[in-house]
C-alpha cells in the first residue's frame, strides 16, 4: 500500500453485521481530532454499527496529497469513497474522472462546481450561513445580559466557501438582532495551529469582543481557549463543542455525520444516485445549533426558535458571502 498505509484504520462492525459494502473516508491531516473530520467519522462509525457496512478511515500523508490515496482506493474497488472538504474536491474530480466505475462523494462541494462534473460523484453541500445566522443572532442577544461593548467576533481559518458562509450568516444574524452591533472578523490562514487561533482571539477581545465564534477547526480551539481565559463567551463550529466548558454559548453545527450516514444508507439500499448534489439545511436538520448554555434565559432561546422557523419558511434571506 502507499505511504499513507500507516495512517489507515478499520472501523469494525458488531459481530454478525458484516456487509459486502466497503466505504473509505479519507480525512484531513489532523484526522478525527479535527472537529470537522470528527463529524464525518461519526457518520461512518454509525453506518458500520447500524448498517453493517465495512468502513475504513485514511489520513493521507501531507506530502503525498489526496490524488495518490484516492487512486489507490479506486483501484482497490471500494464501493464508496467519501472526500472531506474544499481542498479534496479537485482530487476527487480528477480521480473520479479516471475511475468512472467507483462511486465518490465530496463533502462541502456541489457536483456542478466540479471541473469535469463526473457522473460517479455526489456532492454533499451545506447551508452553513443558516447555522451561522442563528449563532450570530444569539451572540448579539446575550450582549444584553451584561454591561459592556456591543462587539462580537469570528476567528476564521482559510478563505474557503464553507467558512465564508458561516461568517456571512453570523454577521447577518447579529445585525438582525441588533443593528448597532460591531462584528470583527480575522483569518488565521490555518486550520491546524491553536496558537494562531488564540492570538487572533486575544486581539479581538482586546478590541471589545464579548463573544468569539471559531470557524478554524483545530486552530479555532485556541480561540475558544482564549475566550475561556478572558471570561467571555465562545461559539464552537461543525460539531457540538459544549463539552469544552461553561464559557461555551453554543456551536454552529453542520451535520456531517448525518450527510455521511444518509449517503452510505442509500449505497446500502442500492438507491444512491450520483451526478447530483444532496443539500443539507435547517429544513432537513442538516445544520443548526448545538447545545445552548443553561445560562441563556428561556426567552432568548424561544426567540432563536422563532428565527429558525422564519429561516425555514424563507422569510429571512441570508447572504452567503462576507461583506
Same domain, 220 and 305: yes
| CATH code at position 22 | 3.40.50.2300
Same domain, 171 and 261: no
Residue 317 in any domain: the answer is: no
Same domain, 113 and 185: no
Mean pLDDT of 21-29: 83
User: How crowded is residue 102: how many other Cβ atoms within 10 Å of its Cβ?
Assistant: 22
Distance CA 2, CA 68 (A): 8
User: How crowded is residue 294: how many other Cβ atoms within 10 Å of its Cβ?
Assistant: 7
Residue 287 in any domain: the answer is: no
Q: Which domain holds residue 69?
A: 3-126+256-280
Residue 319 in any domain: the answer is: no
Same domain, 263 and 114: yes
pLDDT of residue 5: 39
Least confident stretch, 49-58, 169-178, 274-283, 296-305: 49-58
User: Scanning the structure block, which residue is given the C-alpha cell 466505475?
Assistant: 101
pLDDT of residue 8: 52
Burial class (CB in 10 A: 0-12, 13-18, 19+), 261: buried
Predicted confidence band of residue 282 (pLDDT cuts 50, 70, 90): very high
Beta sheet of 248-254, edge-to-edge order: 182-187, 151-156, 211-215, 233-238, 248-254, 287-289
Render pLDDT for 292-323 as a digit per residue (tens, 0 to 9): 999 999 999 999 999 999 999 999 999 888 87
Least confident stretch, 33-42, 265-274, 281-290, 306-315: 33-42
Same domain, 163 and 303: yes
Mean pLDDT of 192-196: 95
User: Scanning the structure block, which residue is given the C-alpha cell 477581545?
Assistant: 205
With pLDDT > 70 as the criterion, what percentage of the chain qualifies?
A: 92
- What are the residues facing 10 on neighbouring strands? 56
Render pLDDT for 211-245 as a digit per residue (tens, 0 to 9): 999 999 999 999 999 999 999 999 999 999 999 99
Amino acid at each position: 500500500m502507499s505511504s499513507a498505509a500507516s495512517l489507515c484504520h478499520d472501523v469494525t462492525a458488531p459481530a454478525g453485521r458484516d456487509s459486502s459494502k466497503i466505504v473509505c473516508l479519507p480525512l484531513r491531516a489532523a484526522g478525527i481530532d479535527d472537529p470537522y473530520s470528527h463529524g464525518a467519522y461519526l457518520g461512518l462509525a454509525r453506518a458500520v454499527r447500524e448498517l453493517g457496512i465495512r468502513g475504513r478511515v485514511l489520513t493521507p500523508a501531507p506530502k503525498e496529497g489526496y490524488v495518490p490515496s484516492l487512486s489507490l482506493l479506486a483501484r482497490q474497488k471500494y464501493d464508496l469513497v467519501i472526500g472531506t472538504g474544499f481542498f479534496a474536491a479537485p482530487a476527487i474530480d480528477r480521480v473520479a474522472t479516471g475511475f468512472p466505475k467507483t462511486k465518490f462523494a465530496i463533502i462541502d462541494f456541489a457536483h456542478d462546481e466540479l471541473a469535469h462534473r463526473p457522473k460517479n460523484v455526489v456532492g454533499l453541500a451545506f447551508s452553513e450561513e443558516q447555522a451561522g445566522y442563528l449563532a450570530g443572532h444569539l451572540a448579539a442577544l446575550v450582549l444584553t445580559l451584561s454591561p459592556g461593548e456591543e462587539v462580537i467576533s469570528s476567528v476564521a481559518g482559510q478563505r474557503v466557501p464553507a467558512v465564508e458562509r458561516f461568517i456571512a450568516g453570523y454577521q447577518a444574524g447579529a445585525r438582525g438582532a441588533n443593528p448597532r452591533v460591531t462584528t470583527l472578523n480575522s483569518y488565521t490562514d490555518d486550520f491546524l495551529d491553536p496558537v494562531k487561533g488564540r492570538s487572533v482571539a486575544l486581539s479581538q477581545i482586546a478590541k471589545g469582543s464579548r463573544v468569539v465564534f471559531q470557524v478554524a477547526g483545530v486552530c479555532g480551539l485556541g480561540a475558544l481557549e482564549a475566550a475561556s481565559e478572558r471570561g467571555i463567551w465562545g461559539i464552537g463550529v461543525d460539531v457540538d463543542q459544549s463539552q469544552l466548558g461553561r464559557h461555551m454559548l453554543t456551536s454552529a453545527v453542520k451535520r456531517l455525520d448525518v450527510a455521511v450516514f444518509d449517503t452510505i444508507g442509500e449505497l446500502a439500499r442500492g438507491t444512491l444516485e450520483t451526478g447530483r448534489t444532496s443539500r443539507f439545511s435547517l429544513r432537513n436538520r442538516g445544520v443548526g445549533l448545538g447545545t445552548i448554555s443553561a445560562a441563556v434565559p428561556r426567552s432568548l432561546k424561544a426567540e432563536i426558535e422563532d428565527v429558525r422557523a422564519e429561516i425555514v419558511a424563507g422569510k429571512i434571506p441570508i447572504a452567503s458571502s462576507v461583506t
